Chain A
Amino acid sequence: MADKSGLGETLKNYSGVQTFLIAFLRVVIGWHFLYEGYVKLSSDAWSAAGYLRAAPGPFGPMFESMVSSASMVGVIDAVMAWGLTLVGILLILGLFTRSALLVAALFLLMFYLSNPPWVGVQFMPGEGSYMVVNKNLVEMAAVLVLLVLPSGAMWGFDRLFARR
């Protein structure tokens, strides 16, 4: 054991329950991402264009400009559908966890900013009205917590890389 990296020692600092709950958190977030991606891939009519065109708040014009051309819409739709799916799979597997978590946090930040639940900003129907904190922000916070924990090395394929 002594010849191996300090990871083994680090992992020993977590109790079994802690290890399980950290992995559980990562897997449920992965599941959520995978489903959102899967739904978009399996629908023949889904496009992000309508949502982005109607984005309220101070970043609304920025999101609107992202879908100003048909080619941009095509790229964004593909990035959304495949990106969510891939991030979901990686999080469930615990493979390239850090990169996947970074991308996940970026996605969630974009979702948050495209429909920010800030006082005075008109909220979009469907999500309901929140005050500053909404589900996107909570999920992003959870992703950031995972980012500072070696969750892929606890239960996940990253364990294989970390040890060899």
Chain B
Amino acid sequence: MGNNLDRRDFLKAAAGTPILGAFAYTATRKGKVDGSRREELLEQAGGPEKTHPFMERKYKKLPSYQGNSDTINIGIIGAGSRGKDHLRALGLFVPEELTAEVKQELAGREPLNVRCTAVCDLYQPNVEFAVRASGGTAKAYRTHQELLAQSDVDAVVVATDDHWHAPVAKAAAEAGKHVYVEKCMTQNIHEIYDLRDAVRKAGIVFQLGHQNRNSAEYDSAMNVVARGMLGDISLIQCYTNRNSNSGAWFRDVPKIHGPLDAASGPRNLDWEQYVSNREHRPYDPNRFFNWTCFKDYSTGLSGQLLSHEMDLINMIMELGIPASAFASGGTYCYKQYQAIVDANGEPLGTDEPVPAGARTRPDVPLLVRQWPDVLQVVYEWPDRGLTVVYDATLGSQFNRDQIYLGSEATMKFDGGVQIYADRRSARYADWLASGRVTPDRPMISYRNLSGKGVEALTSATAAWSLSKGLLYTYRGGRRVNTTYLHHKNWLEHMRANDTDTLCNIGDGFQEAVTAHMGTASLLTGRRVHWNPETEQMTTGEGEPLEQFRDGWQL
């Protein structure tokens, strides 16, 4: 009887064990079912696997090279806010920025094996910052010409204001230095040709600063496009939405500023050099620190934000330069800004609330925006049957996702990549009829970084993170810095003596022409065409665009 009891006891004790078995069986089966549905979906949605040409470029195995262990000496030209980002991406931090978290992130990176040997900036505090970040290895140079004459500089990062991008990059190429230059590649049209010629002639390794070419979520998008899952894509829409003073490039002017040749007061910036390739004007801190608002130094929305969107679309769709561009826009929201100080005379940030007793800042004049803050550009590729619309306002931060509208399906970026079957699709008609797929929910949803899988959603938590795109920024708890990846790509190509970087001079040519076609159209009020034979922008009648200067030159 005791035996019986023990056995019964044991059965009762182990009652849960078969449930574990059932769980394991069900989980395996679910994995198989999800997996086969995945295969089937991809098979039927897109036909056989096809590789997007850019994917081959992106994941190309570089030939083994010698001198891998040699440190590459970098010069930083322009060490303002973006230049400081570059130092950090290169792993160079001032001591106070080296927090435990930063150290941990650095430990997870492959070392780039670079040294910053030179720095040039027209604003003295930026120079001091860069020298400290370099760990003392960088020497400061007053002009980029002096810096480029140094033999201990192999390559330069150009993060100046836009109107110095091309002149500095060109001089660097001519001096035989490899170049990483920020977008927009040039500030005007003729510089595009000059820079391309100089880079090609010198044979240097060139990288344009569209670092989001490294984001792995677009691998999925390229896969979708390469396999033709969307059918005929007739319209792509892309957007910029912002709504703050700093977002509209009304930025903080430092408390202490003044040109080197000032009769009195602080002297910490080289105004004469800054305007030396543009119309000479008396010192204006807004023109120096808030250059993005001015036609002499920037191209406004088209160079700053349109160029990112259009470069991404060009990468995914392989469009090249559009046949035509037509732009419209205006200055509606952030027309002007007066810098202020608080009651104690301390400068206030442009997005800080205005306290009682605030008054006009005496050393900073009224900032009046020259480039529009609302801009629409319509680009056409008639031979592809495609129109791309860029649609921007700096007066509303409502989020809109880049969207590709095709005859069979629509693709939307919201951190991941979502594919919606079209209600009238022929290819997905059976699925739609059976209710297996509905037009208002993603048919396929990519979430992973490597572009390998199709999402099979599990819990509400995962679904939510997916919709916010947060899975991508923090992967395994680690932030992936795309600027670091872009530098890594540039340096690897230098070491392999290969000029086909992720955003090479050919990509840069297309980026700059596309952006400036929009700007030229905005300023002339006419549709601007592109002649691929002569590589010239023309009017609708095929005439070259006449030279004009409205604070911006062709």
Contact = CB atoms under 8 A, between A and B. Distances in A.
Give the dominant DSSP class at B's interface: helix
A70 B16 contact: no
Interface string A13-44: 00000000001000100110011101100011
Interface string B448-463: 1100000000111111
Contacts of A160: 9-10, 13
A45 B447 contact: yes
Contacts of B477: 47, 49, 70-71, 73-74, 77
A46 B456 CA distance: 13
B474 A47 contact: yes
Interface residues of B, number: 39
B81 to A, nearest CB: 23
B454 to A, nearest CB: 13
B20 A92 contact: yes
A125 B20 CA distance: 32
Contacts of A159: 9, 12-13
Q: How large is the interface on A (under 10, 10 to 19, 20 to 34, 35 or more residues)?
A: 35 or more
B470 A93 contact: no
Nearest to A94: B16
A154 interface: yes
Contacts of A124: 464
Contacts of A71: 100-101, 104, 477
Given A92-B20, A126-B460, A50 B465 contact: yes
Contacts of B465: 46-47, 50-51
Interface string A143-156: 00000000000111
B15 interface: yes
Give the dominant DSSP class at A's interface: helix
B91 to A, nearest CB: 16
Nearest to A159: B13
A89 interface: yes
A31 B22 CA distance: 10
A43 B14 contact: no
B441 to A, nearest CB: 14
A38 B27 contact: yes
Interface of A: 23, 27, 30-31, 34-36, 38-39, 43-51, 53-54, 68-71, 73-74, 77, 89, 92-94, 124-127, 154-160, 163
Given A45-B449, A50-B470, A93-B16, 20 more contacts: A23-B15, A27-B16, A35-B23, A43-B458, A44-B476, A45-B448, A45-B471, A45-B475, A47-B470, A47-B475, A49-B474, A51-B465, A54-B468, A89-B20, A126-B467, A127-B460, A155-B15, A157-B13, A157-B14, A159-B13
Interface of B: 9-10, 12-17, 19-20, 23, 27, 100-101, 104-105, 447-449, 458-465, 467-468, 470-479
